[in-house]
Structure 1
């Protein structure tokens, strides 16, 4: 039986996640359910897309991904089931799938039209779970509804190059649990425009002149402890998703703060790289 993943903005205080899982177990008996995240900021489409885009590829082909963010049905927010990159996505037509599949053309998209639909306030349970269980049993998308062509196309602002190729400007697209700030500047763009030149990363009033491979590389263990950089230092790196990330080494967002709070960076704030 395929894995079913859950990505929502429901949190854990309320009954929603438990109700979803309980219904799937009742329908399928012994399914494999994986929580990707239930801590998406409410209705934050871009954050949802970033998390799901960078996690679904690690699941086996045929996995089914239920997305419970901004899922209430409306004439402009249809319920859809998508087959793309050998994975199934069940969600509302709110732009998440467009951001996930920005470089992949979905093979099949249908508008979900279940018999005797429940038009309630919990569509993830009433519609998405039933759809996922149908697919998990081997059911076809064609049975769920008609082909759908009108996918909502939301595009994140792309980094821009200026100053005759000497400046690459991007923006913050995600802030993680540690307060680390992720920009939309990708490593391939950095290499393409930088061409090995010296550079300077500008994040608010901070200047960073080195990009590390991993967080701990900021510490030079050849130096005496008193001379080494230590927790609390700013570090830049390309994260596992290939995006430029600004972090505070061994930070704690809930105590001393992270890059987002200590540098005053928020969603869509500007990150600039100047090449010499």
Structure 2
């Protein structure tokens, strides 16, 4: 049984998701449909890429992942299908896949050999992506969907800045609990730390954290904490609280780590 995951910035009050699911079930009877996420902020490419990057590899090999975000076809952003690590991806080449997929895909093609329906031209997820997914389900290949592409459109991710005694990173994702994930990896942290003491500074120097937890419950309820989450990235949180709301943090808010020699 084929599996198709769906990710979009649609919300559940819209009819779009139901229409796409209905079309997929009509084109691919028996397919398993999985909602990866539909609560992405509108047009937010980096947030969608983060969700996809940290989710797709848990699905069975051969899964088809449809991305409905900034999906309008333009000269710069073609509709594409990708084969990567035995998974398939369908969406617009708007830089999202470059952020979500590490390294060069096995194959990239422009989706050109799909018959378009005039009444659904503004709805490529229904008009194009469902049919491309059905083709993959049937043929287990993307080669016949259109001409090959050499590479993906690139977006440059924001990287943490390392200076003597300090690492400055940014918040790249805020979950529904208000926990803030940064772009500071455990490897970068340990490399810069060199076994020194440290302080994680939030909102300039106003809030400080000087330990790294393994679990949330190691810190008392209502207190600040830091840990490396399942993505291997530094996460700042409040145990049983909503950090982002309390401190008015947002995507791209700075988080600094100061290291001190003993």
Describe the SS at the equivalent of 1:67: strand
SS of residue in 1 equivalent to 2:127: helix
Partner Cα distance (1:66, 1:116) in 2: 18
> Can you give the 5+ residue segments of structure 2 that lack an aligned partner in the other structure?
none
Give 1:147's aligned residue.
148
SS in 2 for 1:137: helix
CA distance in 2, matches of 1:236, 1:96: 28
Counterparts of 1:60 and 1:139 in 2: how far apart (Å)?
A: 14
Verify the 8 A CA contact 1:84 1:104 in the aligned structure 2. Answer: no
Matches within 5 A, 1:25-174: 25-101=25-101, 103-118=102-117, 120-163=121-164, 166-174=165-173
Say which SS state the counterpart of residue 35 (structure 2) adopts.
strand
Which residue of structure 1 lines up, in the alignment, with residue 212 of structure 2? 211
The aligned length equals: 256
Q: Does the aligned pair in 1 maintain the 2:113–2:145 contact within 8 Å?
A: yes
Match of 2:188 in 1: 189
| Deviation, structure 1 residue 100 | 1.1
Q: CA shift at 1:139, angstroms?
A: 4.2
The offset of 1:195, in angstroms, is 2.1
Distance 1:175 1:67 in 2: 20
Ranges of 4+ aligned residues in structure 1 off by more than 6 Å: none
State the Cα distance separating 1:214 from its structure 2 match: 1.4
1:245 aligns with 2:235: yes
CA-to-partner distance for each residue in 1:238-276, whole Å, 9 max, x for gaps?
A: 11101111111112xxxxxx1111122111011111111
Pair 183,153 (structure 1): closer, same or farther in 2 beyond 3 Å: same
**Displacement of 1:136 after TM fit?**
1.1
Distance 1:142 1:135 in 2: 9
CA contact 2:83–2:108 (8 Å) conserved in 1: yes
How big is the shift at 1:52? 0.4
Deviations 1:107-127 (A, max 9, x none): 100000134323611101111
1:177, 1:273 → 2: CA distance?
25
Structure 2 counterpart of 1:263, from 237, 247, 252 = 247
* Alpha-carbon distance between aligned partners in 2 of 1:139 and 1:216, rounded to the nearest angstrom: 45
Task: Report the TM-score, using the length of structure 1 for normalisation.
Answer: 0.90
Is 2:250 the partner of 1:273?
no
Taking the aligned partners of 2:64 and 2:29, their CA distance within structure 1 comes to: 16
SS in 2 for 1:97: helix
Alpha-carbon offset, residue 150 of structure 1: 4.8
State the Cα deviation string for residues 117-158 of structure 1 (Å, max 9, x = none): 236111011111111111011242111000013521002111
For 2:59 and 2:114, locate their aligned partners in 1 and report how far apart those are by CA, in whole Å. Answer: 30
